[in-house]
Every structure is written in C-alpha cells, then in structure tokens.
Amino acid sequence: MMHKLEYDESYCLNNLSIGFDEFCGRSLQLHEAPILKTLTLKLHNHSDSIDSLLFPSIRSTLLKISITSSSNPTPIRFSSNLNVFKTLVVMKLQDKILLDVSADSPVCFRSLKSLHLTRVRYSCDESLSRLLSACPVLEDLFLERRLRADKLFTISVPSLQRLFIIKQDRSLYNDDPIFEINVPSLIYLMIDDRRGSFDFTGDMPKLVEANVAVCQSKSGKLLKSLTSVERLSINLYISMVKHLTDRFYYNQLLHLELHIYQNFRSNLLLRVLQDTPKLQVLKLNQGRAHASSSFRSPSTLALNFSINLEIKRP
C-alpha cells in the first residue's frame, strides 16, 4: 500500500464528472494503510469544501501534509476532523490559502514539529497566533510573508528551536509589519526582511546561531537579543556597526560574518574586536546595498570584496 499520495488538480480539471474535492475525498476513503506518511494537494480552483470533504476522509495516521493553492484564496479552518491534526508532524501551506482559525477552535496539533507558511493569507491578525498556540511541541517555523499585506505577526511558542522569517522578495515596498516574538527555547534564528520591525519580548538564552538582514533604523531591539550567540552573520550599515558595538557586549561570539554596505574603517574593526573577546573568525563582505532582486551591474560587482580573518589572541 502506498505511503505517499499526491493530488494535482491541474491534471483533473476537464476529466472528472465530480468536483476535485469530492474526488479526493472518495479516493482517500479507499486508502486503508494504517500510516500515510505524506499527503500533497495542489489546488488550482477556488474551493470552500476542503475542510468538510477532504479532511474527514483521511482514515490513516497522517504524518505530513503539503497544500498549495494557485487560484483564489482557499479557506482552511482546521475544524472538521480533529483526529487528523493530532498526528501531523509536518505541515506546509503555500500561496493562496486563507488561514481562518477562530478564537474558540478546538483544534490541537499536539505532534506538529515543523510548520511552513509560505505567502499564505490570514483572516485576521490573530489567526497566526491562534494557530501557533495550538502547536505545543513545535520546533521549526518557516514564515515567508507577502508584500504589503499583513501588519502584525505575533509569534509566541515556548518550544520553538528554529525560526525562519523572510519577505516575499527583496524589493523595498512601503510596508512596515511588526513582529512580536517570544521564543525562549530558540537555538537558530534567520531573518531576511528589511521592512519589518522585530520586537523580542523575552530572553533567548539558548540561541547559538543567527543570520539576519534587517532595516538599519529598526535593528536596536533585535541586536540586543543576539548578545548570547556563538555564530552571527548580519547585514549592516556603518551606523549599525556603531550601534552594535556601542551598546552591546558579545562575550560568547566565536564566528562573525559582516556584510557591510558602506566604507568600513579600521577603527570600527578594532571596536568590533574589543567587544567580542572570544572571537576566532571574522569575515568581512563589503558591497552596495540593493533595492531589489538579483540584478547587479558590473560597476557594483567590481566594488564588492570579501576578507577572512583568523584571530589569535595573546
């Protein structure tokens, strides 16, 4: 019996006498294996019935689900078959999916360890926080937000160990979302979002590694939260370097990689070394900041350079 199932609506648009949701529901009822490792759904038409027709049809213990919607927003409310969600370990939702988690929703993802939300939509500001509160053992969260859409993201997950936050692309559109984050068990942090404002409301004493690219005017609270890391890669302007060294002391830092977007002077290098007493490796990358995309002119490429230093202290 198959342990992986994939349904792609693009292959069925003109070949079914019944709706795609109903076809999937009937098909899943025939799947009798005790464990279904992976269920992949690729939706192309607007659907309001995925909760009522599809989820109740899953009889096997489902470990991983991946849903992508490329049409109008498909609402997912996680309310029809609670037993399905109790066994999930990995859940991936992508593109035009509308997360609608009500305040009184009884859903609980008690086994979910990894959650990927890629450019999904939220019915309200509380939808994300309600979903996360239903994940008591979540360890990995990947969040790619859409441009000029959602304004507030509340991430409070005591069990979270790895957090990835990125923007849809690197273009500097005029949106200013706020991230309120409380993740006391975090080990690894990756942020690539130059428009977001990040407010870490609690300590992260277990944080070992961070890779961040943020706006220079909104970096203060974030930098303060990184003082315990051993490995740090960060995109900086010179003003942020001064902010980094003037206010915070990185006494655990062993490996530092700086991506600098202005002229880097030797006195700033000395300041960095003074405030990182355990630093063993320093890598400097200098070049121009880019407002968007992967395009780089020849003149810009010529200005980029990289220096690797191995530091030996007396």
Say which residue, 294 or 186, is predicted with more confidence: 186
- State phi, psi for 176 to the nearest 5 degrees: -135, 70
Q: Is residue 75 part of a domain?
A: yes
Say how far apart CA 127 and CA 2 lie, in whole Å: 34
Q: Is residue 70 part of a domain?
A: yes
Say how far apart CA 255 and CA 236 lie, in whole Å: 16
Q: Is residue 239 part of a domain?
A: no
Say how far apart CA 180 and CA 159 lie, in whole Å: 16
- State phi, psi for 10 to the nearest 5 degrees: -65, -25
Say whether pLDDT at 289 is over 60. Answer: no
Domain count, the chain: 1
Q: Is residue 95 part of a domain?
A: yes
Q: Is residue 166 part of a domain?
A: no
Domain span at 46: 1-138
Query: What is the pLDDT averaged over residues 33-48?
Result: 82
Q: Is residue 25 part of a domain?
A: yes
> 293 in the Ramachandran plot: left (φ > 0), alpha (ψ -120 to 50) or beta?
left
Structure tokens at 53: 């027709």
Say which residue, 219 or 144, is predicted with more confidence: 144
Q: Is residue 271 part of a domain?
A: no
Q: pLDDT-derived band of residue 135, with 50, 70 and 90 as boundaries?
A: very high
Do the Cβ atoms of 240 and 267 come closer than 8 Å?
Answer: no
Q: Is residue 76 part of a domain?
A: yes
Which alpha helices (H) appear in the chain, and where do they start and end?
20-29, 82-87, 126-133, 220-224, 238-247, 266-274, 298-303
Residues 49-68: tens digit of each pLDDT: 677 667 777 878 889 999 88
The pLDDT of residue 59 is: 79
Say how far apart CA 281 and CA 253 lie, in whole Å: 9
Residues 89-107: tens digit of each pLDDT: 999 999 888 888 887 777 8
Residues 144-198: tens digit of each pLDDT: 987 666 678 899 999 999 999 998 665 555 667 788 999 999 999 999 887 778 8
Do the Cβ atoms of 188 and 210 come closer than 8 Å?
Answer: yes
DSSP track, 82-126: HHHHHH-SEEEEEEEEEE---TT-----TT--EEEEES-EESSTH
Query: What is the pLDDT averaged over residues 291-301?
Result: 37
Q: Residues 6 or more apart from 245 whose CB is under 8 A from it?
A: 268, 271, 272, 274, 275
The pLDDT of residue 302 is: 36
Residues 64-85: tens digit of each pLDDT: 999 888 877 777 777 655 677 8
